[in-house]
Chain A
Amino acid sequence: MKNLARYCVLVLLLAGTHVSADTAEQYREQRAQLMREIADDVRDTSAYLDKDTLDPRVMQAMARVPREAFVPGAERRYAYENRPLPIGHGQTISQPYIVAIMTDLLRLRPDDRVLEIGTGSGYQAAILGELVKRVYSIEIIPALAKRARTVLDELGYKQVSTRVGDGYYGWEEQAPFDAIMVTAAADHVPPPLLKQLKPGGRMLIPVGSRFMTQQLVLVEKGADGSITTRLLLPVRFVPLTGER
């Protein structure tokens, strides 16, 4: 009887290992498929983005980061659907296509220091962490910050520093930054953040609701400190249909 019990436990354990290996393999395949979809979508929207493909480094980063790890259990089976998913606390993990475009627009270099306002699930921070030396991310909701930190630690993203707090004033001690990603809702650009952006730096602000990114605002700081923005649609859509 005792042996039978041992046997059963062994079988269950093996089955468990088998299942998780299978699942990991499935996730890898789904991730690869998603990457292909994003590449196709980018090609479709090339005229609007002024490029046929995204920076290969961005695509590689997207292909490495396991989105399923940042998604709550109930939503995990949708992790590789190209859409935003709820992560609790009224927040979402963004649509992968939008994450790819936003990251690409920051034109990051390996030595860059990046500030993120709104850690959320931590997924965007992980993608940034794949691309640059240091990422600093601030989250306003403590529970989310804690969960994101745990996942980032589990996946070994030591280059990503996080903290709970008010993103309005940025991260003064670590400023200036080469790039800033503001994923929290904003009706104006906080002046302290502009000050913490290096000349030549870029800041990206998605505008819209939690599930729908209406437009992207790319703030560029010139070498002389002058500020301009570019207002972009994340999609190829020209408002006029007729010939002009």
Chain B
Amino acid sequence: MADRPPVMTIALLSGAALGYEILLIRLFSIIQWHHFAYMIISLALLGYGASGTFLAVTQQRFLRHYPRTLLLNLALFALSTLPCFLLAQRIHFNPEEMLWKWQEALRLAMIYLLLSLPFFFAANSIALTLARYRSTITRVYAADLIGAGAGSLAVLLLLYLLPPLQALSALSAAAIACLIFAAVELRLQRQLWIAAGALLLIAAAVWFGMNARLVLSPYKALSQALRVDGAHIVNQRYSPLALVEVVENAIIPPRYAPGMSLNSPAGPPQQLGLYADGNSLGAITRDSGKPETLQFLDQLTSALPYHLQQQDPVLVVGAGGGMDVLQAVYEHARQVDAVELNPQVTNLLGHDYADFTGGLYQRPGVRLHTAEARGFISSRETKYGLIQLSLQDSAGAASAGLYALSENYLYTTEALTEYLQHLRPGGYLAITQWIKLPPRDTLKLFVTAIDALRASGVDQPGTRLMLIRGWQTSTLLVRKGAFTAGEIRAMQLFCRARAFDVAWYPGIGATDVNHYNRLREPYFYLGARALLGPDRQVFLDDYKFNLQPATDDQPYFHNFFKWSTLREILHLRDRGGLPLLETGYPVIVATLVQATVLSLVLILLPLAATKRAERDDSGAVTRLRVVAYFAGIGLAFLFLEIALIQKFMRFLHHPVFTAAVILASFLLFAGLGSFRSRRYSTLGNQRAGVLRAISGIVLTGVAYLLLLDHLFSWLSAWPAVARMLVSSLLIAPLAFFMGAPFPLALSSLGKQAADMMPLAWGVNGCASVLSAVLATLLAIHFGFVTVVVLALMLYSLSALAFPVKSA
């Protein structure tokens, strides 16, 4: 057997394991909802922790038969990836029944268990290799990180080339190929047989993947649409952003006219349902050239700004199925810029359905841009007459509080300030949202607009705000300049004709409100009045939902949860109170609690196993130090990674590309850092290496905190590719230093207390899982800057806890 570690095998395996994680998030976002995807994957990653426990007991026996054990674990990883997912998606788990039916928790546990298996086998393979090649740990770890970095990029590419499930089958094939690499690198006998067997398995995985189908939750919008007679999918596009599907039904067509006035004489014309990851994205509306078929567009609350004054040019943010663009055209806008993030959607609208939409995007003056909205706006000089954001979340998802965990940079105070800067004098920002009772989104947006106006130097924001509502939607107008009496009269006429209520306009009185869509109390008006008045803070404190405006540092607009209300809601469980529970936040807390409990079990078990072998005689190697050090650097690594992905989102704008560029840069440069740190390992001076690396991390981190924002605003006009390159270079030094602390400490353990290596591996794995969940929770409460500061502190403390004295 060769003495060189099988670095190619490890690199490919790590790439496949990270790719598997990313694919699972995509797949579960499609078949379930994305916050449960997050929960499931976090827990599944505990397979890494379980591997530590397992190896603590079995390491010596396995190391004696290393090649065979490695092959076995590689094979089990490769062969479990596809079947584990296919089985997990067959388990009928319904998150909405969880609070009523304890059996759902069992089903969730089964999904965790199934998905942990592949990670368990992958972790075993890597940990055994690290233990087997103790003197060259830095090389193995470098291969692990570089492989993972390359894997994250490869899976992104794969998601462009194949539908998600077929991408999973391709990934399984790549994982099986690890067996061939291992056979060659370890110079095993019977290489040909192994290769032939692997090729057969690859063929089987591909066949399986091609014939497998995704099983969507029956409660997702797409599943519901497809149950109706005559419904079928007529178009499907995929990318790392989403699986986009178009549904046609000639017998019972979909009809989408959110919040249409009850006085509307007619509904929408022929439409096609548009879905992203099984959630409704609205509809593509047919324009047959007869304006009377589009009358419904004038019966929506979002039509208000067109009745106040001429709007050109109009910017439609999140164009989706094109309804807002069609509305602008119907309302005689001459110049419309439509921005849509997802190129698949723009492609469908611009090409496949160009005729169906009456050539919407081919009209003179109408331009469709594929871009992220904030990035698009900040790069433009144009001053708009109207910036329109309408129903950016699907109704079902919005009502279930599913977005609490996802960062949203469209509704932050900074975003609204930026929109206002891009309005011409007298122009409007119009934001339409779904109405929830008691009011949540609408009032949070109102207070965000107040803050944005104040940030823009407006003393009396109430003079520039107008809020109207129907029974299903509300529209907030923010004007550049105070509303005129003529505009107010036009608004009143608009609302009266459509039975919409007013909730705020300058000069509003208590008798003006709550006429058509009556509430027990005029909550929207009372809320708006309180938020503009001197008692704003009292109102925010007393309100049972969190209405604190979101910022770019804490971009969680949809998190309305307050702990103080939880008891009351649970008390009202059987009396229709459960829908008041904003589920996103409790889910993340539940994930953290579960992950902590499981991690403790996984850490305590190996501790018990290593008890007898403890090396207190070496002076410095104690279990406590091993746990503290490896937990510290595990938490800190992901804190920095996650916080910086968010920070760079403001610079690179596109969520998927940002995550890919930053994640891949982190892993690749950390891999190089690990490789470079081997000289400390060879000299037996790991501690000095770690101290230098951590000093580097802290200094670079502090520099980022001080300089990044300035740098970003200075370079914001650069083209996207250049910005990606700059981002990667900016990440390089930090990541380079971050690559050293783990392998150096592990290699020093390998020399002085090899039996503690599995413990270190397990603790680090568990800490990484907790870190991802904890970082989101901390960011919700304290912002991403705090997460970075905490990470730097954790690194510093870890330096003090370095587990082995220098030789």
Contacts and interface: CB of A to CB of B under 8 A. Distances in A.
Contacts of A228: 499, 515-518
Given A188-B258, A240-B542, A233 B438 contact: yes
A244 B219 CA distance: 40
B96 A209 contact: yes
Interface string B451-470: 00000000000000000000
A189 B259 CA distance: 8
Interface stretch (B140-148, B220-228, B738-746): B220-228
A141 B264 contact: no
B399 A83 contact: no
Nearest to B580: A237
**Among A168, A207, A219, A242, which residue has the most Cβ atoms of chain B within 10 A?**
A207
A237 B438 contact: yes
A232 B523 CA distance: 12
A73 interface: no
A233 to B, nearest CB: 5
Nearest to A47: B520
Given A89-B218, A239-B544, A188 B472 contact: yes
Q: Which of B227, B257, B396, B569 has the most CB of A within 10 A?
A: B227
A151 interface: no
B795 to A, nearest CB: 42
Contact of B579 (A78, A89, A190, A212): A212
Contacts of A8: none
B227 A141 contact: yes
A146 interface: no
A187 B438 contact: no
B615 interface: no
A221 B255 CA distance: 23
Interface stretch (A22-30, A90-98, A125-133): A90-98
Interface residues of A, number: 58
A227 B499 contact: yes
Interface centre among A41, A83, A188 (most CB of B within 10 A): A188
Interface stretch (B334-342, B570-578, B638-646, B769-777): B570-578
B262 interface: yes
Given A141-B228, A209-B219, A233-B437, A241 B544 contact: yes
Interface residues of B, number: 64
Contacts of A208: 399, 579
B355 interface: no
Interface in A6-50: 37, 41, 44-45, 48
Nearest to A242: B542
Contact of B262 (A81, A86, A194): A194
B265 interface: yes
Interface string B519-551: 110010010000000000011011111000000
Given A83-B100, A236-B572, A242-B542, A214 B437 contact: yes
B793 interface: no
Interface string A177-191: 000000001011111
B229 interface: yes
A234 B576 contact: yes
A172 interface: no
A140 B101 CA distance: 28
Given A97-B575, A208-B399, A239 B545 contact: yes
Contacts of A164: 229
A166 B252 CA distance: 6
B542 A185 contact: no
A235 B576 contact: yes
B267 interface: yes
A229 interface: yes
Contacts of B255: 168, 188, 190
Interface in B191-250: 218-219, 223-224, 227-229
B97 interface: yes
Contacts of A189: 260, 262
A187 B258 contact: yes
Nearest to A75: B101
Contact of A211 (B97, B395, B568, B569): B97
A201 B94 CA distance: 37
A210 B258 contact: no
B647 to A, nearest CB: 34
Given A82-B574, A229-B516, A231-B518, A90 B224 contact: yes
A207 B577 contact: no
B266 interface: yes
Interface string A184-226: 0101111100100000000000011111111101010000000
A142 interface: yes
A230 B514 CA distance: 10
Given A90-B218, A227-B263, A239-B545, A212 B96 contact: yes
Interface string A115-157: 0000000000000000000000000111000000000000000
Q: Interface of chain B, helix or strand or loop or mixed?
A: loop
Contacts of A190: 255, 267
Contacts of A86: 94, 97
B267 A168 contact: yes
Contact of A239 (B97, B543, B569, B572): B543
Interface in B250-308: 251-252, 255-260, 262-267
Given A228-B517, A239-B439, A140 B258 contact: no
B105 interface: no
A187 B542 contact: no
Contacts of B395: 187
Of the listed residues B439, B518, B574, the one surrounded by the most CB atoms of chain A closer than 10 A to its CB is B574
A231 B526 CA distance: 16
Contacts of B544: 237-241
B517 A229 contact: yes
B676 interface: no
Contact of A235 (B101, B436, B516, B575): B575
A237 B568 contact: yes
Contacts of B400: 209, 212
A48 B472 CA distance: 20
Contacts of A194: 262
Given A209-B400, A239-B439, A187 B575 contact: no
Contacts of B265: 191
B471 interface: yes
Given A191-B266, A213-B579, A97 B257 contact: no
A237 B219 contact: no
B575 A214 contact: no
A53 to B, nearest CB: 15
A37 B575 CA distance: 10
Contacts of B538: 242
B259 A241 contact: no
B31 to A, nearest CB: 13
Nearest to B229: A142
A20 B307 CA distance: 66
B523 A239 contact: yes
Contacts of B568: 237
Contacts of B471: 217, 219, 229, 231
A237 B572 contact: yes
Interface string B76-116: 00000000000000000010110011000000000000000
A214 B541 CA distance: 24
A234 B541 CA distance: 25
Given A78-B101, A227-B499, 9 more contacts: A90-B218, A97-B575, A140-B227, A164-B229, A190-B267, A212-B96, A212-B579, A214-B579, A229-B518
Interface of A: 37, 41, 44-45, 48, 78, 81-83, 86, 89-90, 95, 97-98, 101, 140-142, 164-166, 168, 185, 187-191, 194, 207-215, 217, 219, 227-242, 244
27 contacts: A86-B97, A89-B218, A140-B229, A142-B229, A164-B229, A166-B251, A188-B259, A189-B260, A190-B267, A207-B472, A208-B399, A209-B96, A209-B579, A211-B97, A212-B399, A213-B576, A215-B436, A219-B262, A228-B518, A229-B471, A233-B437, A236-B575, A237-B438, A237-B544, A237-B577, A240-B543, A242-B542
